[in-house]
Amino acid sequence: MCADSPAASGSDPARDSRREVDWVFRRVSWLVTCDDTMRCIPDGALAVDGGTLAAVGTTEEILQRFRGRRDTDLSGYLVLPGLVNAHVHGAMSCFRGLGDDLPLMQWLTEVIFPAEAAHANPDMVYWGTLLSIVEMLKNGVTTFCDGYFHEEDAARAARDSGIRAVLGQGIVDFPAPGIPDPGRARERAEAFLEAFPAGVPTLRPSLFCHAPYTCSAETMRWVKDLCRERGILFQIHLSETAGEVEELTARHGMSPAFLLDRLGILDPGTLCAHANWLDTSEIALLARRGAGVAHNPESNMKLAAGVAPVPEMLAAGVNVGLGTDGCASNNDLDLFGEMDRAAKLHKAFRRDPVVCPARRVLWMATRGGAKAVGWADGIGSLEAGKKADFAAIDLKQPHLTPLYDPVSHLVYAVKGSDVRHVWIEGRQTVCDGKVQGLEEEAVMKEVRRIAASIRR
Amino acid sequence: MCADSPAASGSDPARDSRREVDWVFRRVSWLVTCDDTMRCIPDGALAVDGGTLAAVGTTEEILQRFRGRRDTDLSGYLVLPGLVNAHVHGAMSCFRGLGDDLPLMQWLTEVIFPAEAAHANPDMVYWGTLLSIVEMLKNGVTTFCDGYFHEEDAARAARDSGIRAVLGQGIVDFPAPGIPDPGRARERAEAFLEAFPAGVPTLRPSLFCHAPYTCSAETMRWVKDLCRERGILFQIHLSETAGEVEELTARHGMSPAFLLDRLGILDPGTLCAHANWLDTSEIALLARRGAGVAHNPESNMKLAAGVAPVPEMLAAGVNVGLGTDGCASNNDLDLFGEMDRAAKLHKAFRRDPVVCPARRVLWMATRGGAKAVGWADGIGSLEAGKKADFAAIDLKQPHLTPLYDPVSHLVYAVKGSDVRHVWIEGRQTVCDGKVQGLEEEAVMKEVRRIAASIRR
């Protein structure tokens, strides 16, 4: 499959009235579409042309209408839309496992901030992001929404890998990697947008305003204005910890979500990461404004930051995607793990085994994320006209046997390591578990080199 | 490595004064011993003889003292003691993913109990347990503590696989698979013990008294007496849900742990599964009596059964092991996943990122489990004189790069699928991710056959 697959034989092209497309994938044991009805098709098939899904259906339906220049049999596999990691700081894979199990402020001020001050340079951002991309691709993530500094180097890594990405240059009101003078942050943001690789259909720029407790109202306002002007995603950390909510509420006389709303920031082009400490009125506000949320269960659990009111947000109609957050507080980038955690955490926390059912959670990791990062028209489901971004999972494994319900398996039993093949824009980016066109060992070697200097 | 490895060359056996042993494993990148100091040895080595660890140390130390008839280089690998799954119902892999996201009582009474009544026969127990064993072996579990019905068939599966196991025949005061007349449960238990395969050093029998709400005081008493008489482990579900605790406390005028104590059941030979709803006095009681606990974070989360007071139990000195519980409420048997969940769940629930640090959690999955199932003298750590039960993890992977702390990785980043090789009693049971001496595909095929009849 990794080499060119021959077209299916047995038909004479000259007399074949079927539409010829780039690639037909047929006999998929379970095709999980994540369409509006969460349709799961046994013996499914996809017709892919020019990086786009020409059609989705049963093998019989697709083979009646399409002939592939390449033709691949995916029996024994489950195919699902590529997952969307709605919140990550890719470069932070360089800090994986650095200072676990510490109080949050000690971890930040004694471990992470000093490490970033000393090591977050273009070299670290490129290689750290590339390592994260390799890990995500192997785990079936086809789109990630990033926020960090030196973000042009993150974009370079994304471009080199073929992954789809929304890349947010970080903005904060204190000296930061690549922005020693916060007074020049706007200049820096504009330079990032100017230099952003044009004409790469898989990459979109964004700005990432760190948080309401690290950015002034003025900063948040100009960043949002710039995003609106350029039509790009505005990202912000919102109400991750109880402490910051208390501090902000005391300072501004209103809760953080209402503060953002007063600044005109809450709209469908804004993505709020975490949203752990929203009250009912803030949840209603986010739903009304159409702002998205990236829920990061593992990071929130590990840092004891709080448990997001996900069942309430979903019930209120807030659009919620799933994210891993940075590697340092996770410590991996496996969105299948996040799905399992999201499904179970809220059940445990609410003492209710019915909340966050598997279908809702899979929706968050696909459709919810696609909408949250502003790409709902192109990705998140397998439907005609959408991008050909999908992953194939090997079902012939003991821990996936027996199979009563493919969606249950995706949330409660599949691991990222079960992903065997991945396609993005119709191009195969993972084959037999190996990222195509990148030397994984070389990427790991560079990150080990960077880690050696961090260790010192 | 899977075939016979030649001995290291370069020395003349006749003039070599080193002790000859069956197998030397050297150049282990990280040897995580789980000894009393949780020592992690870079460039470590093991000398194995007759199924036992002859010595553990650095490669230099071991090669000075030992010469292996077989000799294996494990550079690039992390080696740790085989994990101990302290609570599982192996046969239930046949019900994996059957009826998720339902209220607990509806799930039990409408899905699981009817499925068990119709399908829990010797054939299902053998193949279901064997499938669970295959999954566990591939995930680095070398010992499991099982409780189910038709347990001789579970023992048959364990014997056929080479895994180490404590196998508990189920006892309950209503008609159960293989025991249509609960009045003959004692006879059934005695027959199970009589027929238990003698002389298999990896297998031990046990009795599994289902729970204080399904077994009378009289039943619990004779089962414990029989266990004491035979010197075997007594297993019971204790205080899994708030509802059962309420009911039992009303019925007996005391909380469940005190009820067990009044019956003389709490001692180091008793393993209590779950223990989610213990108050301070019950925790102190379990600590005083030396009874063990199997903590099952994923199952407890999925069923919303409760969050066990693990930090308090550990602080009080209760011995806590980790378990997966049955597959139907998990839905996999990956103890690395349980470690991650145990570390994170309690942090989230207590809003304290310091509780359940990685070292403590790894201890639970090895030493804690070994002691809880009554095998502390033989397994749970890599120390001279203990059984040669260990797993090798491939560190050369993106999601395990970089590595600052091997114990952090084991809890927060490693997945069961990273286990490449497993040895039990010095015999290789998993090689390159494949279980040795079993046809995985044949096992899956049999379980698919059983699942087809369950689906109907």
> How far lies A353's CA from each of A163, A347, A357, B303, in Å?
36, 5, 8, 5
Q: Tell me how far apart the alpha carbons of residues B36 and B300 are, in angstroms, rounded to a whole number.
A: 29
% of chain A beyond a pLDDT of 70: 97
Q: What are the chain A neighbours of B349 within 8 Å (beta carbons)?
A: 348-349
Q: Tell me how far apart the alpha carbons of residues B441 and B447 are, in angstroms, rounded to a whole number.
A: 10
Q: Which value, to the nearest 10 degrees, does the dihedral of the CA atoms of residues A42, A43, A44, A45 take?
A: 170
Q: Tell me how far apart the alpha carbons of residues B243 and B253 are, in angstroms, rounded to a whole number.
A: 15
More confident residue, B274 or A104: B274
Question: Cβ contact (<8 Å) for A448 and B350?
Answer: no
Peptide bond into B201 cis (omega under 30): no
Question: Cβ contact (<8 Å) for A451 and B415?
Answer: no
For B170-191, the pLDDT digits (tens) are 999 999 999 999 999 999 999 9
Using 50, 70 and 90 to split pLDDT, how confident is the model at B105? Answer: confident
CB A42 within 8 A of CB A360: no
Block residue for tokens 């909408």: A371
Residue A411 has pLDDT above 60, yes or no: yes
**Angle at CA A124, nearest 5°, toward A120 and A127?**
150
Find which of B344, B346, B356, B439 to mutate to test the A interface (most A CBs within 10 Å of its CB). B344
Residue B11 has pLDDT above 70, yes or no: no
CB B222 within 8 A of CB B264: no
Q: Name the DSSP class of A52.
A: E
What confidence score (pLDDT) does residue B4 get?
52
Q: Of A227-241, B1-15, B314-328, which range is least confident?
A: B1-15
What confidence score (pLDDT) does residue B91 get?
98
Pairing type for strands B83-88 and B141-148 reads: parallel
Using 50, 70 and 90 to split pLDDT, how confident is the model at B62? Answer: very high
% of chain A beyond a pLDDT of 90: 95
The C-alpha of A50 sits at a distance from chain B's nearest C-alpha, in angstroms, of 31
Q: Tell me how far apart the alpha carbons of residues B315 and B286 are, in angstroms, rounded to a whole number.
A: 12
Using 50, 70 and 90 to split pLDDT, how confident is the model at A25? Answer: very high
What totals of helices (H) and strands (E) does chain B contain, helices first? 17, 17
Task: For residues B445-455, give the mean pLDDT.
Answer: 97
The C-alpha of A252 sits at a distance from chain B's nearest C-alpha, in angstroms, of 25
- Chain B's closest residue to A341, CA to CA, is B341
Domain range summary for chain B, segments of one domain joined by +: 13-81+380-435, 83-372
Task: Return the closest-CA partner of residue B180 out of B91, B94, B106, B120.
Answer: B120
Q: Which of A107, A353, A408 sits opposite B103 (nearest CB)?
A: A353
What confidence score (pLDDT) does residue B327 get?
94
Structure tokens at A163: 């992954």
- Chain A's closest residue to B299, CA to CA, is A344
What confidence score (pLDDT) does residue B5 get?
60
Q: What are the chain A neighbours of B344 within 8 Å (beta carbons)?
A: 298, 301-302, 341
What confidence score (pLDDT) does residue B104 get?
82
More confident residue, B99 or A73: A73
Which residues, 6+ apart, have CB-to-CB distance to A369 below 8 Å? A83, A84, A85, A86, A143, A145, A294, A321, A322, A323, A380
The C-alpha of A191 sits at a distance from chain B's nearest C-alpha, in angstroms, of 32
Question: Cβ contact (<8 Å) for B97 and A408?
Answer: yes
Question: Cβ contact (<8 Å) for B131 and A103?
Answer: no
Q: What are the chain B neighbours of A434 within 8 Å (beta carbons)?
A: none
What confidence score (pLDDT) does residue A1 get?
64
What confidence score (pLDDT) does residue B279 get?
97
% of chain B beyond a pLDDT of 90: 95
Question: Cβ contact (<8 Å) for B408 and A351?
Answer: no
CA atoms B436, B438, B439, B445: torsion sign: negative
What confidence score (pLDDT) does residue A205 get?
98
Q: Which of A357, A398, A417 sits opposite B131 (nearest CB)?
A: A398
Q: Tell me how far apart the alpha carbons of residues B393 and B411 are, in angstroms, rounded to a whole number.
A: 13
Block residue for tokens 């760190």: A210
Residue A116 has pLDDT above 60, yes or no: yes
Structure tokens at A301: 């659990």
The C-alpha of A117 sits at a distance from chain B's nearest C-alpha, in angstroms, of 19
SS (H, E, C) B391-453: EEEECCCHHHCCCCCHHHHHHHCCCHHHEEEEEECCEEEEECCEECCCCHHHHHHHHHHHHHH
Task: For residues B406-424, give the mean pLDDT.
Answer: 98
What confidence score (pLDDT) does residue A16 get?
87
Helix, strand, or coil (residue A215): coil
The C-alpha of B44 sits at a distance from chain A's nearest C-alpha, in angstroms, of 21
Q: Tell me how far apart the alpha carbons of residues A239 and B339 are, in angstroms, rounded to a whole number.
A: 28
Pick the CATH number of B13-81+380-435 from 1.10.1040.10, 3.40.50.300, 2.30.40.10, 3.40.50.1360: 2.30.40.10
Residue A9 has pLDDT above 90, yes or no: no
For B208-259, the pLDDT digits (tens) are 999 999 999 999 999 999 999 999 999 999 999 999 999 999 999 999 999 9
Q: Which of A101, A332, A441 sits opposite B357 (nearest CB)?
A: A101
Query: What are phi and psi for residue A207, nearest 5 degrees?
Result: -120, 145
Residue A3 has pLDDT above 70, yes or no: no
Average pLDDT over all residues of chain B: 96
Say whether residue B347 is in contact with chain A using an 8 A CB cutoff. Answer: yes
Host H or E run for residue A341: helix A335-350
Which numeric CATH code is attached to B83-372?
3.20.20.140
Q: What are the chain A neighbours of B307 within 8 Å (beta carbons)?
A: 348
% of chain B beyond a pLDDT of 70: 97
- Chain B's closest residue to A133, CA to CA, is B398
Using 50, 70 and 90 to split pLDDT, how confident is the model at A104? Answer: confident
Question: Cβ contact (<8 Å) for A97 and B409?
Answer: yes
Using 50, 70 and 90 to split pLDDT, how confident is the model at B9? Answer: low
Query: What are phi and psi for residue B240, nearest 5 degrees?
Result: -75, -45
Block residue for tokens 């769940």: B345
Question: Cβ contact (<8 Å) for B304 and A348?
Answer: yes
What confidence score (pLDDT) does residue A8 get?
57
- Chain A's closest residue to B454, CA to CA, is A404
How many residues appear in chain A? 456
Helix, strand, or coil (residue A282): helix
Buried b (16+ CB within 10 A) or exposed e, A392-415: bbbbebbbbbbbebbbbbbbbbbb
| Amino acid symbol at A210 | H
Same fold, B13-81+380-435 and B83-372: no
Q: Which of A100, A403, A409 sits opposite B408 (nearest CB)?
A: A100
For A178-214, the pLDDT digits (tens) are 999 999 999 999 999 999 999 999 999 999 999 999 9
Helix, strand, or coil (residue A195): helix
Q: Tell me how far apart the alpha carbons of residues A126 and A444 are, in angstroms, rounded to a whole number.
A: 12
The C-alpha of B145 sits at a distance from chain A's nearest C-alpha, in angstroms, of 19
Task: Return the closest-CA partner of residue B398 out of A373, A202, A221, A416.
Answer: A416
What confidence score (pLDDT) does residue B421 get?
98
CB A50 within 8 A of CB A60: no
Q: Tell me how far apart the alpha carbons of residues A456 and A66 are, in angstroms, rounded to a whole number.
A: 58
Question: Cβ contact (<8 Å) for A344 and B344?
Answer: no
Residue A159 has pLDDT above 70, yes or no: yes
Question: If 0-12 CB within 10 Å is exposed, 13-18 middle and 19+ buried, where does residue A290 land?
Answer: middle
CATH superfamily of A13-81+379-435: Urease, subunit C, domain 1 (2.30.40.10)
CB A61 within 8 A of CB A117: no
Question: Cβ contact (<8 Å) for B441 and A396?
Answer: yes
For A356-399, the pLDDT digits (tens) are 999 999 999 999 999 999 999 999 999 999 999 999 999 999 99
Say whether residue A40 is in contact with chain B using an 8 A CB cutoff. Answer: no
Task: For residues A155-174, give the mean pLDDT.
Answer: 98
Which residues 120-149 in chain B show a CB within 8 A of chain A?
A: 131, 134-135, 138-139
Block residue for tokens 């093949």: A421
Q: Which of A300, A303, A348 sits opposite B307 (nearest CB)?
A: A348
pTM of the model: 0.97
Find which of B124, B274, B363, B401 to mutate to test the A interface (most A CBs within 10 Å of its CB). B401
Say whether residue B441 is in contact with chain A using an 8 A CB cutoff. Answer: yes
Block residue for tokens 């279908």: A359
For A133-151, the pLDDT digits (tens) are 999 999 999 999 999 999 9
Q: Tell me how far apart the alpha carbons of residues B5 and B311 are, in angstroms, rounded to a whole number.
A: 45
Residue A12 has pLDDT above 90, yes or no: no
Residue A331 has pLDDT above 90, yes or no: yes
- Chain B's closest residue to A446, CA to CA, is B402
What confidence score (pLDDT) does residue A234 get?
99
Say whether residue A173 is in contact with chain B using an 8 A CB cutoff. Answer: no
What confidence score (pLDDT) does residue A15 get?
78
Structure tokens at B388: 């040669």
Residue B283 has pLDDT above 70, yes or no: yes
Q: Tell me how far apart the alpha carbons of residues B454 and B448 are, in angstroms, rounded to a whole number.
A: 10
Residue B1 has pLDDT above 90, yes or no: no
Q: Tell me how far apart the alpha carbons of residues B335 and B323 are, in angstroms, rounded to a whole number.
A: 7
Residue B434 has pLDDT above 60, yes or no: yes
CB A71 within 8 A of CB A7: yes
What confidence score (pLDDT) does residue B2 get?
67
